[in-house]
Structure 1
Amino acid sequence: MAIIIFVLVLWYGGLFFQSFFLHRYAAHQVFTMSKTTERIMFVLTWIFQGSSYLSAYGYGIMHRMHHAYTDTEQDPHSPSHDPNLFAMMWKTKTIYQDINKERIAVDQRFTKDVPQWKSFDNFASSRFSRLLWITAYVMFFVLFVTAWWQWLLLPVTFLMAPIHGVIINWFGHIYGYVNFKMKNTSKNLFRFDFLMMGEGYHNNHHKHASRANFGFKWYEIDITYLIIKVMNALGIIQLKNIK
């Protein structure tokens, strides 16, 4: 039971900070926060994403490019131009690293106001940090595994963020339903998104990228947005446009 709880905490914790901080804040800036709160969110993202930590800067820019170039050859991740999900993952990783390490020139429209904390990102993205988390995960499994099949979940803990990305960026452009007909393949994966905390309403999001709430139909409950509303009410963040 301890292993299942551990994996679920990493799954939903890492997913929340990817959706809340990297996606809705860094990439789309649907709300604002103080610099101190922003730094706290960087650290919490590192804690919950662990060995698969993603930089707000690299993710934010790459995701803006995805919206600008959806399903074209310039899209950083697209089932339309990658032969399989592993090829897409490798391409995404390469582009993300090139952006994050500033090895390639990026149009200023993609970099405007994207949060960046270079010194922290250098540490959180380092091999030392990733190996530290991997070691911690392995030790936890050694201490708490009670059945052989639980070891199959260990690789998931190592690659949590890429797995989240594949679910949305690969399957979210192949399977599901659409509320809005668009010139791209984006789809809503679930009618109630229990698995991806609202990220699965991908077609809705592509239609209204700056909307804080990814759900549109009454049954499309965006769990991340509900948390955002609470944080806004508490004054932790300030929503730009509550819908």
Structure 2
Amino acid sequence: MPIQSTAPKHKSTLTLDWISVAFFAAVHGLALLAPWFFSWSALGVMIFLHWLFGSIGICLGYHRLLTHRSFQVPKWLEYIITTIGTLSLQGGPIFWVAGHRLHHAHTEDFDKDPYSAKRGFWWSHCLWLIYPQDEFFNYETYRRFAPDLDRDPYYRWLNRNFLLLQIPLGLLLYALGGWSFVIYGMFLRSVLLWHSTWLINSATHLRGYRNFQLDDGSRNLWWAAILTYGEGWHNNHHAHPNVAKAGLRWWEIDVTWWAIKTLKTLGLAKKVVMPVN
């Protein structure tokens, strides 16, 4: 059944969510404290968590595993990977997956794509988060687009409590390295990972080259691919969304694919969808 939206065509009334503005401003502000809390170990923690939460949690977990089901892993491992994605502070799994499935179902549609590039760079990059539209942010509405996850009690729990999971993460970082680890491992990491991820919604629909001539504006952007562990090969992905490998040419580096390939070698990843030559 095709995905339907009850949203009026070309809605013009948007309401700024000041709570979201305050939240994003606070995290960005705390990230700016990084120079005063610098240590090499804190920088290392930030880089490691950017990879763990970004490549494994978001790119491999939320995106290729949950949204597109481009491979399968045992349920216990799927839960672990999804929990890692939840720690990225990019929303719960049902919210994230539902939004991305809508993006693919209605790519660049002005109203039906949550982060449509037709609304401009800044809308698709971050403004859609602070001008939340009910059909994309109301659980009772968006849950319909991820019914497979919504049937799982653990995923419903993660979807409700993703913010609370930042508390044990913060306490662990503080215990390991004090405020330096907290600033770098939570706030600076969150800001850098947010903007890395958001570039896929914004920059890769505006700049880059195309291996496939599609009806949408998706592009392959090499520097975005580096920042997002392979997600920047976005034209490839839109052409074959269920394929586990985003980098298709030999020089299109896809770090997340390396992780999937490792899981496959270990016998943990099954039914891996590969590109058809």
| Cα distance per residue 1:149-190 (max 9 Å; x no partner) | xx7997432445532331110111122222112111111110
Do structure 1's residue 9 and structure 2's residue 56 form an aligned pair?
A: no
Do structure 1's residue 42 and structure 2's residue 82 form an aligned pair?
A: yes
Do structure 1's residue 157 and structure 2's residue 185 form an aligned pair?
A: no
Between the aligned partners of 2:186 and 2:158, the Cα distance in structure 1 is 26
Give the 3 Å change call, closer, same or farther, for CA 118–87 of structure 1 in structure 2: same
The residue that corresponds to 1:218 in the other structure is 250
Between the aligned partners of 2:224 and 2:250, the Cα distance in structure 1 is 10
Q: Which letter does structure 1 place at the counterpart of 2:48?
A: V
The residue that corresponds to 2:271 in the other structure is 239
Shift of 1:237: 1.9
The residue that corresponds to 2:97 in the other structure is 60
Shift of 1:143: 4.3
Do structure 1's residue 113 and structure 2's residue 148 form an aligned pair?
A: yes
Gaps of 5+ in 2: 1-39
Give the 3 Å change call, closer, same or farther, for CA 54–206 of structure 1 in structure 2: same
Contact 2:107 2:113 in 1 (8 A): yes
Structure-to-structure mapping, 1:53-92, within 5 angstroms: 53-73=90-110, 74-82=112-120, 84=122, 85-91=125-131
Contact 1:7 1:157 in 2 (8 A): yes
Q: Which letter does structure 2 place at the counterpart of 1:32?
A: Q
Give the 3 Å change call, closer, same or farther, for CA 21–105 of structure 1 in structure 2: closer
**TM-score normalised by length of structure 1:** 0.79
User: Alignment RMSD, CA only?
Assistant: 3.0
The residue that corresponds to 2:235 in the other structure is 203
Between the aligned partners of 1:216 and 1:229, the Cα distance in structure 2 is 14
Give the 3 Å change call, closer, same or farther, for CA 233–71 of structure 1 in structure 2: same
Q: Which letter does structure 1 place at the counterpart of 2:210?
A: V
Gaps of 5+ in 1: 146-150
Q: Which letter does structure 1 place at the counterpart of 2:50?
A: W
Between the aligned partners of 1:183 and 1:120, the Cα distance in structure 2 is 35
Contact 2:62 2:82 in 1 (8 A): no
Shift of 1:132: 4.9
The residue that corresponds to 2:64 in the other structure is 24
Q: Which letter does structure 1 place at the counterpart of 2:99?
A: M
Do structure 1's residue 174 and structure 2's residue 234 form an aligned pair?
A: no
User: What SS does the aligned partner of 2:113 have?
Assistant: coil
Give the 3 Å change call, closer, same or farther, for CA 153–121 of structure 1 in structure 2: closer
Shift of 1:192: 9.1
